[in-house]
Protein backbone atom coordinates (compact mmCIF):
# COMPACT_ATOMS: atom_id res chain seq x y z
CA UNK A 1 0.00 0.00 0.00
CA UNK A 2 2.83 2.38 0.87
CA UNK A 3 4.50 1.69 -2.48
CA UNK A 4 1.23 2.44 -4.28
CA UNK A 5 0.87 5.73 -2.37
CA UNK A 6 4.46 6.77 -3.19
CA UNK A 7 3.98 5.81 -6.82
CA UNK A 8 0.79 7.93 -7.04
CA UNK A 9 2.52 10.85 -5.32
CA UNK A 10 5.48 10.65 -7.69
CA UNK A 11 3.16 10.45 -10.71
CA UNK A 12 1.23 13.50 -9.54
CA UNK A 13 4.41 15.53 -9.03
CA UNK A 14 5.72 14.56 -12.49
CA UNK A 15 2.38 15.51 -14.08
CA UNK A 16 2.37 18.83 -12.24
CA UNK A 17 5.95 19.54 -13.33
CA UNK A 18 5.02 18.83 -16.96
CA UNK A 19 2.01 21.14 -16.71
CA UNK A 20 4.14 23.93 -15.23
CA UNK A 21 6.57 23.76 -18.14
CA UNK A 22 3.73 23.76 -20.67
CA UNK A 23 1.96 26.66 -18.94
CA UNK A 24 5.05 28.86 -19.37
CA UNK A 25 5.74 27.83 -22.95
CA UNK A 26 5.60 30.26 -25.84
CA UNK A 27 5.30 29.79 -29.60
CA UNK A 28 6.52 31.87 -32.53
CA UNK A 29 4.52 32.63 -35.64
CA UNK A 30 4.57 34.69 -38.83
CA UNK A 31 1.68 36.50 -40.39
CA UNK A 32 0.02 39.70 -41.57
CA UNK A 33 -1.85 42.08 -39.28
CA UNK A 34 -5.48 42.48 -40.38
CA UNK A 35 -6.57 44.87 -37.60
CA UNK A 36 -5.44 46.15 -34.22
CA UNK A 37 -7.60 47.34 -31.33
CA UNK A 38 -6.84 48.34 -27.76
CA UNK A 39 -6.85 44.76 -26.45
CA UNK A 40 -6.77 42.49 -29.52
CA UNK A 41 -5.17 41.90 -32.88
CA UNK A 42 -6.51 40.01 -35.90
CA UNK A 43 -3.78 38.03 -37.67
CA UNK A 44 -3.69 36.07 -40.90
CA UNK A 45 -0.93 33.69 -39.85
CA UNK A 46 1.08 30.87 -41.37
CA UNK A 47 0.75 27.34 -40.02
CA UNK A 48 2.11 26.81 -36.50
CA UNK A 49 3.17 23.14 -36.54
CA UNK A 50 3.99 23.00 -32.82
CA UNK A 51 0.32 23.74 -32.07
CA UNK A 52 -0.93 21.64 -35.02
CA UNK A 53 -2.61 24.75 -36.42
CA UNK A 54 -3.04 25.27 -40.17
CA UNK A 55 -2.63 28.72 -41.71
CA UNK A 56 -5.71 30.81 -40.82
CA UNK A 57 -7.03 34.22 -39.85
CA UNK A 58 -8.00 34.64 -36.22
CA UNK A 59 -8.20 37.18 -33.40
CA UNK A 60 -5.85 37.12 -30.43
CA UNK A 61 -6.09 39.04 -27.19
CA UNK A 62 -3.07 41.05 -26.17
CA UNK A 63 -1.30 40.35 -22.89
CA UNK A 64 -1.20 43.22 -20.39
CA UNK A 65 2.35 44.22 -21.39
CA UNK A 66 2.20 43.24 -25.06
CA UNK A 67 4.67 45.05 -27.27
CA UNK A 68 3.25 45.86 -30.73
CA UNK A 69 6.35 47.75 -31.87
CA UNK A 70 4.28 50.01 -34.14
CA UNK A 71 2.61 47.13 -36.03
CA UNK A 72 -0.37 48.23 -38.11
CA UNK A 73 -2.79 46.58 -40.57
CA UNK A 74 -0.99 45.23 -43.62
CA UNK A 75 2.35 44.73 -41.84
CA UNK A 76 4.07 41.36 -42.05
CA UNK A 77 5.03 40.38 -38.51
CA UNK A 78 6.61 37.76 -36.35
CA UNK A 79 4.76 37.22 -33.09
CA UNK A 80 5.01 35.38 -29.82
CA UNK A 81 2.03 33.54 -28.29
CA UNK A 82 1.53 32.26 -24.77
CA UNK A 83 -1.29 30.20 -23.32
CA UNK A 84 -3.94 32.28 -21.53
CA UNK A 85 -6.69 30.29 -19.84
CA UNK A 86 -8.40 28.21 -22.53
CA UNK A 87 -6.83 30.20 -25.37
CA UNK A 88 -3.72 32.04 -26.41
CA UNK A 89 -2.58 35.64 -26.22
CA UNK A 90 -0.06 37.76 -28.08
CA UNK A 91 2.92 38.76 -25.98
CA UNK A 92 4.78 40.65 -28.72
CA UNK A 93 4.54 41.55 -32.41
CA UNK A 94 7.53 42.65 -34.46
CA UNK A 95 6.98 44.12 -37.95
CA UNK A 96 9.32 42.95 -40.73
CA UNK A 97 10.79 46.15 -42.11
Return the biggest CA–CA distance within the chain.
63
For residues 18 and 14, give the distance between their C-alpha atoms in angstroms, rounded to a whole number. Answer: 6
User: Does residue 14 lie in a domain region?
Assistant: no
pLDDT digits (tens), the chain, 97 positions: 555 444 444 444 444 333 343 557 999 999 999 999 989 999 999 999 999 999 999 999 999 989 889 999 999 999 999 999 989 999 999 999 7
pLDDT recorded at residue 15 = 40
DSSP designation for 54: P
CA dist list (Å): 96 to 3, 43, 51: 56, 14, 23
Range of the domain at 91: 26-95
The pTM assigned to this predicted structure is 0.73
Number of domains in the chain: 1
3-state secondary structure of 25: coil
CB count in 10 Å sphere of residue 48: 19
Domain CATH code at residue 65: 2.40.50.320
User: Does residue 1 lie in a domain region?
Assistant: no
Amino acid sequence: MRALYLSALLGASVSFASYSVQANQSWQGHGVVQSVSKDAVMLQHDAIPELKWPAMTMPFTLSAGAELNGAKPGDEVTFTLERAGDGFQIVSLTPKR
